[in-house]
């Protein structure tokens, strides 16, 4: 089945220690998104890629970076995680091209010690 | 800034009761998505509505898109404990990038 996969599902890191989260998709969608979600809140968009074009949300901290080496994969790098970065990180994809529906992965729960 | 106001934020009901969740905006959307999210998992798409006045049914769930495409509702009939979760509405503007505006979410707890 076509899907969005996130690894790892749970990640524990230490304060200030860089961490990378990964996302892959078999949907062949043009657009990939990274969201941060804190408990019982709506997801907050960090950035998205339309194909190789990177788009940063205005309020996304510089501590967060992203890479999309090819259509299928996208990475979220947190350069120096703080306690406030502990959250669920969600990857989503969309065909783009004026189709609004997004399909989410299962998420990575990040704990910062 | 586009806003999508979702209400109520929290709902705790007994099994068998009915409930309605609302999403309202002053802006027009080209589509409205509803997602359900269980603890520790990603949001799962329930439905997409695109036509003003459209009504879609998914078993005990009924979704409606307002005539002016500014609001939407989700009605659950005879709620069950398995309906427990976070319900999210999200509006789309039919852009090239598919970005969505999310409501604040409704946490639903259905007690047996």
Residue B102 has pLDDT above 90, yes or no: yes
The structure tokens listed for A113 are 């010690």
In this prediction, residues A62-90 reach a mean pLDDT of 95
In this prediction, residues B62-81 reach a mean pLDDT of 97
In this prediction, residues B68-80 reach a mean pLDDT of 97
Residue B94 has pLDDT above 80, yes or no: no
Instruction: Examine residue B60 and say whether the peptide bond preceding it is cis (omega within 30 degrees of 0).
Output: no
Nearest by CB to B100, which of A6, A95, A100?
A: A100
A59: which chain B residues are within 8 Å (Cβ-Cβ)? none
Residue B1 has pLDDT above 60, yes or no: no
- A42 and B95 within 8 Å at the Cβ level: the answer is no
In this prediction, residues B11-33 reach a mean pLDDT of 95
Q: How confident is the model at residue B99 (pLDDT cuts 50, 70, 90)?
A: confident
- B55 in reach of chain A (CB within 8 A): no
CB burial of B91-103 (b: ≥16 within 10 Å; e: otherwise) equals bbbebebbbbbbb
Q: How confident is the model at residue B2 (pLDDT cuts 50, 70, 90)?
A: low
Residue B79 has pLDDT above 70, yes or no: yes
Say which residue the tokens 């065909």 belong to.
A95
**What pLDDT shows up at residue A101?**
87
**What pLDDT shows up at residue B96?**
66
* Share of chain A residues as helix, strand and coil, in percent rounded to the nearest 5: 5, 55, 45
Residue A10 pairs in a beta bridge with A109
Residue B45 has pLDDT above 70, yes or no: yes
Q: How confident is the model at residue A1 (pLDDT cuts 50, 70, 90)?
A: low
Q: What is the mean pLDDT of chain B?
A: 93
Question: Which of B34, B99, B106, B109 best tests the A interface by mutation, with the highest count of A CBs <10 A?
Answer: B99
Distance CA B59, CA B76 (A): 9
Residues in chain B, how many? 112
């Amino acid at each position: 089945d076509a899907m969005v996969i996130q690894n790892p599902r749970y990640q524990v890191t230490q304060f200030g220690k860089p961490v990378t989260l990964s996302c892959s998709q078999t949907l062949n969608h043009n657009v990939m998104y990274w969201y941060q979600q804190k408990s019982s809140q709506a997801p907050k968009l960090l950035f998205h890629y339309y194909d190789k074009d990177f788009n940063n949300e205005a309020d996304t901290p510089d501590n967060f970076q992203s890479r999309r080496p090819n259509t299928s994969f996208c990475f979220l790098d947190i350069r120096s995680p703080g306690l406030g970065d502990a959250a669920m990180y969600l990857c989503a994809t969309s065909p783009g091209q004026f189709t609004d529906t997004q399909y989410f992965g299962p998420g990575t729960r990040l704990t910062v010690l | 800034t586009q806003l999508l106001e979702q209400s109520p934020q929290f709902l705790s009901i007994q099994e068998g009761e009915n409930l309605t969740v609302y999403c309202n905006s002053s802006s027009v959307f080209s589509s409205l998505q509803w997602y359900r999210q269980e603890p520790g998992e990603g949001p799962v798409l329930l439905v997409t509505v695109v036509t003003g006045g459209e009504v879609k049914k998914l078993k005990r769930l009924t979704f409606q898109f307002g005539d002016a495409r500014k609001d939407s509702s989700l009605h659950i009939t005879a709620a069950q404990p398995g309906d427990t979760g976070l319900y999210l509405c999200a509006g789309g503007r039919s852009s090239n990038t598919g970005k969505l505006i999310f409501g604040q979410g409704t946490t639903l707890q259905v007690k047996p």
